[in-house]
Each structure stands twice: as structure tokens, then as C-alpha cells.
Structure 1
Amino acid sequence: MFAKKEKRIKYLGFNDFWFMVIGIIILSFVTDYLFSKSFFRLPIIEAIISWSVSLFFTICNWVIIRKVIILLRKKYTKFEDIGKRLVLLFLAIVGTVILVDFIGNKILTLIFKKNYNAQSFSKVLLPVIIISTMTMAIYEAIYYYVRLKKSIREEEQAKQAMVQAELDTLKNQAQPHFLFNTLNTLRDIIDQNSKEDAKEFVDKLSNVYRFILESGNANLTTLRQELKFAQSYIHIQSERFGKNLKANWDIPERALDRMIVPMSLQLLLENAIKHNVVSKAKPLAIHIEVANDCLVVTNKIQPKSTQIPSTKVGLKNIEKRYRLISGKSILIENDKNKFRISIPLLKPSDQKKHHEHTHN
């Protein structure tokens, strides 16, 4: 009956010690009032003795039915078994009330040497069954609520784990994508420049990869940190393109502490360089600014005559990560003359927390 607190919570959904104590006392007075009105028609001593009989029956019914509840919950553990469990519980309540009434009256007759005949079913047992059913329904309602809450929480945790796994996959996509393109750049430098230039490029590349490693476990980073990474990336690309590649930075100080998806700005810069001519005849200027609470990257469209194979990672990667992390989308504009991409600047509170969007 008075099992450990952990077991009570496990099978009942809550610690029911005081619920039992107070409930038994209240129900014993209620049943005494309904059937005997002892405290209204008898002297106090006799009234207490009469009430004790109601208390005895209430304790027996409560303890037995409570034990049945625990046994049923041990046997039918699945959430969808609730219908079967409720039917069996109701049958157990009916059987318990009838059995306790029969045996209890026999015991009381032996103890008090007074004939405690079982009264009619409709007069006593039916009301007791109804009261017991309503009381045990509280147990079921609390247990159902706790199980439902737990089920929703587990489902949301599973969803969040899946989202995080997908984010990790996307981050792991972006990093090899960056490596692939920088190795192509290194190959061009080795072909066209001295060994010293190639060594310097590798040193700068190692600094860039330090950022990638440091931000590898984060879903968001500050614009300040992302700018350092992006500017290092542009510096690396300048080794290849010289003055033919220019980045115009127009970032106000107030925006530097806003959040951004790691490597997103670098991917946008890489996308612009990859798909446009960068030459002395056609220098490429990339403008990076903050507008309408977004980081906006704009470049003139200078399509290459021969497009290099695309890995299809860049923009889709950014779009997916923004959608998974914040539910927000990036904006892509192409008027055949200029290509403009706007990515939202986020606050830490913009990051989705799936368990906060649970509806019971």
C-alpha cells in the first residue's frame, strides 16, 4: 500500500499518499452521511462508531481497487491499452464493492455480535460503486495526463533529435564543399604562382579551418565571428584573383552581435565567385550590407561561358539550415542583371525549441 515514492509515481503518475488519506476520510464521511446520517441522529460516541464502519469499508474498497489499478498498469503498459484497462477496472470496482460489502458485513457481525445484513444493491451498493468509480477516475485522469505529457515530450525530443541530426549532416556537407573549392583554388595557385605563394595560401587556409572547427558544434554564430571567417575567405580568394575580386563591406556595429548560420556568408561569397567571371576585363564586386534585419549579398551577374560542375550544396544548404533552426527563409532575387540573396539576422530567441511548441 505505502510503497516507495518512486514506485507510486511510476504506476500512479503522482505521489498519492495524501490524496489517499484525505480522500478516504472525506469519502467515509460522505457515505456515512448518505446512508446513516450518524452525526445528525446519534450521540457522538455512537456516531463515531457508526462512522468507523463507513471508514472501514472505504479503506478496504480504496486499497483493493488501488492495488488493481497498479496491477492493470503493470500488465497493460501501452498507451493504446487505456480502453481495455478502463473496462477491466470498472468490472474490478463492481466486484470489489460487492465482495467487500459481503465479507465486511460478516466480519462486523462476528465482532459486534450484531446482525449487519447486506442491504439492497440499489440502496447501498450502486451509490458506492458510482462514488468509487468517480474517485478512481481521478487516478486515471491524472495518469492519462502524465502519460500524454510524457508521450508528447518524447515525441518532441525525437523530432528535435532528428532535426539536430539533419543539421549536423548539413554542416558536414558544407565543410567538404568548402574544402573541395579551396583545394581547386590551391591547385590554380600552384599552377600560376610560386611555391611561396602556395605556402602562404595554405597557412591562411589553416586559420580559416580553425574557425570551422571552433564553430562546428554550434547551430548559430555571431555575425562578428562570421565576418572574420568571410573576410579571411575573401583574402584567400584574392591570392587567386588579385584586384579583380573586390568585396565591399557595409556592416553597422549594431548588427555585429546578431546571429547567423555558420559558414552561410562564406557560402554566398563562394557561390558568387564560382558562377561569375572574375577577370581584369570583368572584375567582380560583391556588396555585403545589412538591410531590413537581413544580411544582403549582391553581385552583378557575369555568367561564365563554361560553367564548372556544381555540387548543389550552397544555397540549398543555407535554406535548409535556416528553416530547421529558426523557421525563417532566405530570399533570392535575380533580375538578370544583379543577383541578390538576403539571409535573416537572428536573435538567440529565434532558434526553434520544439518542446515549447507542444500543444496538449
Structure 2
Amino acid sequence: MRPRGKGPARPILAGVGLDRPFFDDKNRAFWVLQSIGWSGYFILRSLSGLANSMGAMFVVHALLLTATGYSLTLLMASLYRRLITMRAIWTVIISLGTVALAAAAFSFIETWSYSTFLRPDAKPAGVEYLGAIILDFSILAAWSALYYGINYYLLLEEEIDQRAQLESQASTAQLAMLRYQLNPHFLFNTLNSISTLVLLKQTERANAMLSRLSSFLRYTLVNEPTAKVTLVQEVETLKLYLEIEKMRFEDRLRPHFKIDADTIGARLPSLLLQPLIENAIKYAVTSSEQGADIWINARREGRAVRIEVADSGPGPGGAPVDAQSTGVGLANIQDRLTQAYGPAHGFATRTNEHGGFSVIIEIPLDTDQKDHS
């Protein structure tokens, strides 16, 4: 929807119907333009006659012509509303024929009015009644072109708005789909761990794990799938997720956070980093008896925020065959970044100084409290 005007003049504009886009009400817009156009025709025609010493009766003549043109164009508009939905070739042919017939009728009335009010001694006959047909044809053709131009523009604008709305809905649906693609193995493993703890009668640990799982899942369900959260909120959620995983892996999972203070207000799609942590656990921690370290670093670089998720695992290609990455998680994140930022983001992978795998994300330093998705 187009934005409406705000400010102290809003009540005045509302009183005269100018507080909304002009063509929001097409019927009102047509009558306004029709009245303004033919009023202008009447004024110009009257002034032209008076300037050429045609006398006061010329005003009557101009008034009759204005009423004729106004009435003819109303009939034409009624026909054009049906023609505009037809094939273009038929619209053009029938419209030209209509303009020609209307111009002939206009010329006949104009000639009759001229001979009646201005030159009573004139006695036009036959084709003389078509003496003004070229001028009248030009006027009605211009009116027709304006009518079709405005209406085709409005139809095009409607299609553009509908397309933008559909693209927005598709984008939102895609974001939601990507956002909900949490690895089901995480949930399965966590529930399996809780079940094991219950069987071992370690109820306190089982309750703690279940409570953390509940909090994490509540976060994933409460937050809008297309919303953005601050980096500090994302980090708190990652810590909650890592607490759950740490109960499974204990000392084998060693997370480290280094988040610069001037980046904590940066906004990013919710749960954007969780799949990266999940991948690091799967390919670095799970595959090693000693476990692995995972680093989550964020620092500001100009008007951007650089976020790196790194691990000390075997690096690309070093994981066991049954744990090789399919690349779906990374593709998911790239898609979400593209949906959220377009080309204004960076995404890269590399082997880090620890010999493990790193994913580097660069996003605009967006600290606006509103959701921009």
C-alpha cells in the first residue's frame, strides 16, 4: 500500500479527499479529470472567441460544444471500459471507428450551433456539416489516448503491485522454510540423551537437559521466522544450544565466544549461526575422541560486522566418510543471507590457523530496532 501523507495538514487534506493517492478511487479520479478537462476546454474556447470579437453569444456556443464533448466522451468511456480487455488490434480498430463517428457527430452539432447562434445567415448543407471534423477528431483522439494511457498505466501498476506482493510472500515463505530447517538429528540425539539419563536414574541432569531443550525450542517457535534479532540475542540462544550439547559431549565440546562490544546491537536473521555450530559439532567434535574447540568471533569492520565460526576439527575433507557434509546447511545460510541482505553481504569458507574449518559471514551493521525482512 502506498504511504499516506502525515502532518498538521492531514485533516485539511482529508476534508477535500487529498489524503490518499489520486487513483485509489478510479471512478472519482475519472469524474475529476473529466470535469477539469472539459472545463478547461470551455474556458479556452470562450476566451478565444471573445478575443476574436465573436460576441457574448460565443460563450453559449462554447457551452453547447462543451456539453456535447462531455456527453460524447462519457459514451466513449463506457465503450472503452469493455474494449480495454479485448485484443489490442480490435481495441485500436474499434476505438478509431468510435472516434471517427463521435467526431462526425461533434462536427455536425458544432456547425449547427455556429450557424444558429453566431451566423444566422449561414445555411450549411451536406458535407459542410463536417467542416470541423478534423479539429473534433483531434480533440477526441487526444482524449481517447489519455483515457487508455491512464488506464493501461493503472493496470500495469496493479500488476507490478501484485507481483511485488507475491514475491514478498514467496520470499517470506522461503525464509520461513529455511528458518525451520533445523537438523532433526539434534532433536533426536537430545531426546535420546534424555532417555538415557532417565534410564540411568540421573533425573537432575535429565530435567536440566529437558528444561534447556524446552527453552531453546520455545525460542525457535516464538520468534517470527523472518524476523531479525540482535547479535547478543543470537549469542544467548547459541549458548543455550551449546549447553544442551555440552551435556552430551561434556569436556569434548569447548566453545569460546569473542564478541566485540560495538557489534552486539547488529541485527541478523534469527538462528542464522545455529547450523554452523551444529556442523562444527558434527564434523569436529563427534568425529574426535578428544573433541574440539569451537570459536564464535564477531568484530566490526567499517559499516559491516564480520562473524566467524571456526573449529579445531580435521578441516574440509578430513571428517570420516559417514560424516561428510552434504553442503545443505551452508547453502541454507547463503540463501537466508541473500534473502535478508541481497548483495550487501559476504560469505566465505576456509581452513583456519588451527587446521579446522571456518565460515566467515559479513553483514551490514544494521542496528535498527524494526524488522527489515
Please tell me the TM-score bracket, short chain as reference. Answer: 0.7 to 0.9
| CA distance in 2 between partners of 1:57 and 1:109 (Å) | 13
Question: Would the alpha carbon gap of residues 179 and 121 (structure 1) be closer, same or farther in structure 2, given more than 3 Å must change?
Answer: farther
Residue 39 of structure 2 is matched in structure 1 by 25
Residue 170 of structure 1 is matched in structure 2 by 178
Segments of structure 2 that go 5 or more residues without pairing to the other structure are 1-21
| CA distance in 2 between partners of 1:304 and 1:31 (Å) | 88
Residue 238 of structure 2 is matched in structure 1 by 230
One-letter identity of the residue aligned with 1:96: A
| CA distance in 2 between partners of 1:309 and 1:279 (Å) | 11
**Post-superposition CA distance 1:91-121 (Å, at most 9, x none):** 2121112023335655787899945626748
Residue 124 of structure 2 is matched in structure 1 by 117
Cα displacement (A) at 1:133: 1.5
**Post-superposition CA distance 1:184-240 (Å, at most 9, x none):** 554665678834322321121111112112214443221111111100111111111
| CA distance in 2 between partners of 1:284 and 1:142 (Å) | 66
Answer whether contact 1:222 1:258 (CA < 8 A) is retained.
Answer: yes
Residue 11 of structure 2 is matched in structure 1 by none
Residue 358 of structure 1 is matched in structure 2 by none
Residue 210 of structure 2 is matched in structure 1 by 202
Question: Would the alpha carbon gap of residues 268 and 132 (structure 1) be closer, same or farther in structure 2, given more than 3 Å must change?
Answer: same
Question: Would the alpha carbon gap of residues 38 and 261 (structure 1) be closer, same or farther in structure 2, given more than 3 Å must change?
Answer: closer
RMSD between aligned alpha carbons?
3.7
One-letter identity of the residue aligned with 1:90: L
One-letter identity of the residue aligned with 1:77: T
Residue 299 of structure 1 is matched in structure 2 by 311
One-letter identity of the residue aligned with 2:124: N
Residue 187 of structure 2 is matched in structure 1 by 179
One-letter identity of the residue aligned with 1:316: A
Cα displacement (A) at 1:50: 2.0
- TM-score where L is the length of structure 1: 0.79
| Residue 265 of structure 2, aligned match among 257, 261, 270 | 257
Residue 127 of structure 1 is matched in structure 2 by 135
Structure 1 range deviating more: 213-222 or 282-291: 213-222
Residue 102 of structure 1 is matched in structure 2 by 108
Residue 256 of structure 2 is matched in structure 1 by 248
The number of equivalent residue pairs is 340
Residue correspondence of structure 1 range 1-360 to structure 2 within 5 A: 15-28=29-42, 30=44, 38-42=49-53, 47-77=55-85, 81=87, 84-103=90-109, 105=111, 114=120, 117=124, 120=128, 123-174=131-182, 176=184, 178-186=186-194, 194-278=202-286, 282-291=290-299, 292=301, 293-302=305-314, 303-305=318-320, 307-308=322-323, 313-327=328-342, 328-334=345-351, 337-346=355-364, 347=366
Question: Would the alpha carbon gap of residues 193 and 342 (structure 1) be closer, same or farther in structure 2, given more than 3 Å must change?
Answer: farther
**Post-superposition CA distance 1:3-60 (Å, at most 9, x none):** xxxxx95895761444333322332455567xxx632443xxx623123223312321
Segments of structure 1 that go 5 or more residues without pairing to the other structure are 1-7, 354-360
One-letter identity of the residue aligned with 1:300: S
- TM-score where L is the length of structure 2: 0.76
**Post-superposition CA distance 1:102-147 (Å, at most 9, x none):** 3565578789994562674885211221122123322322222222
Answer whether contact 1:24 1:55 (CA < 8 A) is retained.
Answer: no
Q: Give the number of the structure whose residues are more often helix, by fraction.
A: 1
* Highest RCO, 1 vs 2 (Cα 8 Å, sep ≥ 6): 1
One-letter identity of the residue aligned with 1:117: P
